[in-house]
Structure 1
């Protein structure tokens, strides 16, 4: 991801939501300080997992479980967005990759993400201004992960593009050369969410469509 190309989009998102860039940057520095040689996953490992492969990106819309029941999951490398990982684990499928900011899930869902990590999932943990409490509480329990930010990347904290967990998954798939990408568990018009979530879904749809160009 070319941050110079991403930055104007990021600034528009910050303005739209009234978010603070300094908070994102502080959280990214905090997460960077939690990285060690032992818990850091190399990008080459992520690329090897995704490059040239058929990838299914799983969002956590209410219809995800029903969608997955109609799909042969073994045909895909699965990148799960946050709470979607718990659904997959309940179905006996450990996702190859998880993108999570740890703040949209129940405690039980986060425990399943930690379990997935222990069973081989590559986890991308995302830092932003509103989740430092979750980073402090849960990151030490992840044995290996990649740190991400939506602000300017540095050192061992990366920005592959995207804003919410679902669209970040799509950007990761594209960044690392997925052979094809299928979406499951995405409902951009979900009427059952609050206004903030509706706005996030609107941005997710826009960003995913942009990432296809």
Structure 2
């Protein structure tokens, strides 16, 4: 994703939520200082494993577990959004890629993400204005990862597009040349979530439709 194309969308999101861009930039800078040669995964490996593959992107909606039972998971390369990784691992499947901001998950779910990383998952850890404390607490536990931001990328901090974990997964799939993208565990009209989450789901739907329709 060319940042010049993404930036106007990002600015709309900031305005809609009343978020501060400076907070995102501060978090990205904080995460960049935690990166070393040893804990940084390569983009070339990410491209090699995604390019030309049919991708199943798993969100963490309540119906995910039921949907997974109806899908032949062996036919897909799987990218999991945050807590969806724990659901997948409970079914015996380690996702090939995980996109996470480490925010909103239980300790047990994050431990599953760390375990998946140890078992070979490529983890993309996302920095934003509200998760510096989570970055500080959990990032040192990951063996290797790729760092992302929704603000301007720099050095070893990347922006492939997307806002929430679920739609970022789709952006990653498209950025790295997936053959196709199928969704599981997405419920854009969930009536049981709070107003902020409803707005995030609305944006997720809009961003995903921009990519795959």
| Short-chain TM bin | over 0.9
**Structure 2 partner of 1:174:** 174
Tell me how far apart the structure 2 counterparts of residues 57 and 163 of structure 1 sit (CA, whole Å): 15
Residue 44 of structure 2 is matched in structure 1 by 44
Per-residue CA deviations over 1:73-110 (Å, capped at 9, x if unaligned) read 11110000000000001111000000000002111100
Kindly indicate whether residue 176 of structure 2 is the aligned counterpart of residue 156 of structure 1: no
C-alpha separation in 1, matches of 2:84 and 2:179: 22
Q: Count how many residue pairs are aligned between Structure 1 and Structure 2.
A: 213
Q: Which runs of at least 4 in structure 1 moved beyond 3 Å after TM superposition?
A: none
In structure 2, what is the equivalent of residue 199 of structure 1?
199
Q: CA separation in 1, counterparts of 2:146 and 2:27?
A: 14
Q: Deviation of residue 212 (structure 1)?
A: 2.6
8 A Cα contact 2:181 2:212, kept in partner: no
Report how far residue 20 of structure 1 moved: 0.6
The alignment's TM-score, normalised by the length of structure 1, stands at 0.99
- 1:53 paired with 2:53, answer yes
Cα displacement string for residues 134-188 of structure 1 (whole angstroms, at most 9, x for unaligned residues): 0000000000000000000000000000000000000000000000111000000
Question: 1:211: how far off?
Answer: 1.6
- TM-score (structure 2 length as normaliser): 0.99
Aligned equivalents of 2:174 and 2:104: distance in 1? Answer: 24
2:123 corresponds to which residue?
123
Q: Is the 2:150–2:162 contact (alpha carbons within 8 Å) kept by the matching residues of 1? A: yes
CA deviation vs aligned residue, 1:21-62 (integer Å, no higher than 9, x gap): 000000000101111000101100000110000100000000
SS at match of 2:45: helix
* Corresponding position of 1:93: 93
Gaps of 5+ in 1: none
| SS, match of residue 203 in structure 2 | helix
Alpha-carbon distance in 2 for matches of 1:99, 1:148: 9
Q: CA deviation at 1:72?
A: 1.0
2:105 alignment counterpart: 105
Q: Deviations over 1:106-133 (max 9, x none)?
A: 1110000000000000000000000000
Alpha-carbon distance between aligned partners in 2 of 1:61 and 1:87, rounded to the nearest angstrom = 10
Gaps of 5+ in 2: none
Give the distance between the partners of 2:164 and 2:120, measured in 1 at CA: 23
